[in-house]
Structure 1
Amino acid sequence: MSSASFEPDRSSTGIDPKVAGLLAYFLGFITGIIFLIVEKQSRFVKFHALQSIAISVIFIVLNIVLGFIPVIGWLLGLILTPLGFILWIALMLLALQGKRFKLPYIGDWAEQQSYKF
């Protein structure tokens, strides 16, 4: 996991890019998709939107799969849920601080894709 702090590039949404980065995580993949569509220039906001989409989808799929596994899957789901909540809060706060915190694998993917959108 790596974190780079810098002054984010301006957002085309008219919102402070740090706030837009936070809001990209707010409702998971929903706000991630919204910010990915409406943001035209800020790679910082696009990065956080893409990372939000990816991590949200991964957590949803994991919860669904674990839900089908009796006992052990349910117990792992009970552990995964609070960890996901903590990660969600941490990612929003890091975006608000202007940091481009890259999750392993997902962060690299989001960074590469942010140049394409």
Structure 2
Amino acid sequence: MTEQKINPENQEPIVVQENIFTQEDIEKNKTMAGLSYFLFFLPLIVCPESQYAKFHANQALLLLITGIAGNVILGIIPIIGWILMPIFGIGILILGIMGIINGFGGKANPLPIIGKITILK
């Protein structure tokens, strides 16, 4: 859903894209949203019409891509990368736990750092 706000500096409208989910959609699909962090494509198969489940599937896909890319990059870098890899893994684990809690809890909070990107629409 889009919302228009007015820029206070030059009085031009600003279009803001927001994810607004119905309470019915959240209640019906929060289990799928939480499970999406284990298999990101699960909500896309089970409940493809749910915007809430798609939001969490997108967050889980971003987390998977970030984890794989980060491990590949850190694995290529000798010594320093190998030292940073466990710290990066713990960060990805923390983001995954945050996502699971948000999904099962009925919240649509984007993950820190990577959550603003949209791959699945």
- TM-score tier by shorter-chain length is 0.7 to 0.9
Match of 1:78 among 80, 86, 92: 86
Q: Distance in 2 between matches of 1:113 and 1:83?
A: 23
Partner of 1:17: 29
Q: Which has the higher helix share?
A: 1
- TM superposition score normalised by structure 2: 0.71
Partner of 1:58: 66
Residues 32 and 49 in structure 1, CA contact (< 8 A), matched pair in contact too:
yes
Percent identical: 33
* Structure exhibiting the larger radius of gyration computed from Cα positions: 2
Partner of 2:106: 98
Q: Distance in 2 between matches of 1:108 and 1:81?
A: 21
Gaps of 5+ in 2: 1-19
Alignment RMSD, CA only?
2.5
Q: Distance in 2 between matches of 1:89 and 1:66?
A: 22
After TM superposition, list the pairs within 5 Å mapping 1:33-52 onto structure 2: 33-52=41-60
CA positional deviation for 1:9:
1.2
CA positional deviation for 1:10:
6.0
Residues 63 and 92 in structure 2, CA contact (< 8 A), matched pair in contact too:
no
Residues 54 and 106 in structure 1, CA contact (< 8 A), matched pair in contact too:
yes
CA positional deviation for 1:22:
0.3
CA positional deviation for 1:48:
0.4
Instruction: Report which structure shows greater RCO (CA 8 Å, sep ≥6).
Output: 1
SS in 2 for 1:32: coil
CA positional deviation for 1:96:
0.9
- TM superposition score normalised by structure 1: 0.73
Q: 1:32 to 1:109 in 2, by over 3 A?
A: same
CA positional deviation for 1:105:
6.3
Q: Distance in 2 between matches of 1:106 and 1:81?
A: 15
